[in-house]
């Protein structure tokens, strides 16, 4: 029973940290579904990524905090109850996740696995040939605890996001992807440098100190063969 007791203590400690987290409190106050909204906010402010009128694809969107932030950027002067943006959307937002996501006004949501052809084809159909200005990816695999396996899963998801971006981004477009420090980090940085003119790594202040996550930002596609 010692293991269970320890587990309960760990869970209690995590819950206490979560409840007292300033970004959790701020998210509740401002009507965001998760504190993750502030990670994208910091990335946007650091690199000037999001502007009204754009076409943006949100990969790994559930529970919807990033889509909420994007929605507000596309309707900056209109806010409803709880801070939710309402009214006409100046831009196009398409979100995709393997998990269900509660509807957000103006956001087209596709439920499916980005690793499979069906949901990817549905996403491409939704774009209807329009070039994408920004791809944001908060996708992360279920981790097994086996470093080599987890690194391969992380790399695969980011490779898919990069491949999608190569095929759909405007030449001056941007990709933001969550990665993790570890065996997969250097290969993914190299992948970004291979395909983007500007590559930056950024760990938002709202990302927990204990978390190994960081975000790679690629801006401006390199020409084929460059």
Q: Is 209 annotated as a binding residue?
A: no
**Does residue 58 have a known ligand-binding role?**
no
What percent of the residues of the chain are helix, what percent strand, and what percent coil, each to the nearest 5? 40, 20, 35
113 annotated as ligand-binding: yes
Q: Please tell me what DSSP assigns to residue 133.
A: E
| CA 15 – CA 3 distance, rounded (Å) | 18
Pairing state of beta strands 92-97 and 132-137? unpaired
Neighbours of 90 (CB within 10 A): 15
Q: Is 203 in the active site?
A: no
DSSP 130: P
**How far does CA 25 lie from the centroid of its chain?**
21
Name residues whose C-beta falls within 8 Å of residue 220's C-beta, 6 or more positions apart in sequence. 171, 172, 173, 174, 196, 197, 198
Ligand-binding annotation for 66, yes or no, is yes
DSSP state of 43: H
3-state secondary structure of 174: strand
Round to whole Å and give the CA distance between 202 and 178: 10
Catalytic residue among 178, 205, 210, 222: 178
Tell me if 90 is assigned to a ligand binding site: no
What residue numbers does the annotated binding site for S-adenosyl-L-methionine cover? 64, 66, 97, 113, 138
Sequence ranges of the binding site? 64, 66, 97, 113, 138
Catalytic residues: 178
């Amino acid at each position: 029973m010692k293991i269970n007791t320890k587990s309960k203590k760990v869970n209690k400690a995590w819950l206490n940290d979560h409840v007292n987290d300033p970004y959790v409190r701020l998210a509740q106050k401002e009507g965001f579904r998760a504190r993750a909204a502030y990670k994208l906010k910091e990335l946007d402010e650091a690199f000037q990524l999001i502007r009204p009128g754009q076409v943006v694809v949100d990969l790994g969107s559930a529970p919807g905090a990033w889509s909420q932030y994007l929605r507000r950027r596309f309707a900056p002067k209109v806010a409803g109850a709880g801070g939710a943006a309402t009214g006409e959307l100046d831009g196009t937002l398409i979100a995709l996740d393997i998990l269900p996501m509660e509807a957000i006004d103006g956001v087209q949501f596709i439920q499916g696995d980005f690793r499979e052809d069906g949901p990817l084809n549905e996403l491409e159909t939704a774009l209807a040939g329009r070039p994408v200005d920004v791809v944001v990816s908060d996708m992360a695999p279920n981790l097994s605890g086996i470093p080599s396996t987890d690194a391969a899963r992380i790399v695969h998801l980011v490779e898919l996001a990069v491949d999608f971006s190569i095929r759909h981004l405007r030449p001056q477009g941007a990709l933001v992807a969550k990665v993790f420090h570890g065996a997969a980090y250097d290969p993914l940085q190299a992948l970004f440098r291979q395909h983007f003119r500007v590559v930056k790594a950024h760990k938002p202040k709202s990302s927990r100190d204990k978390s190994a996550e960081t975000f790679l930002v690629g801006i401006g596609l390199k020409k084929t063969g460059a």
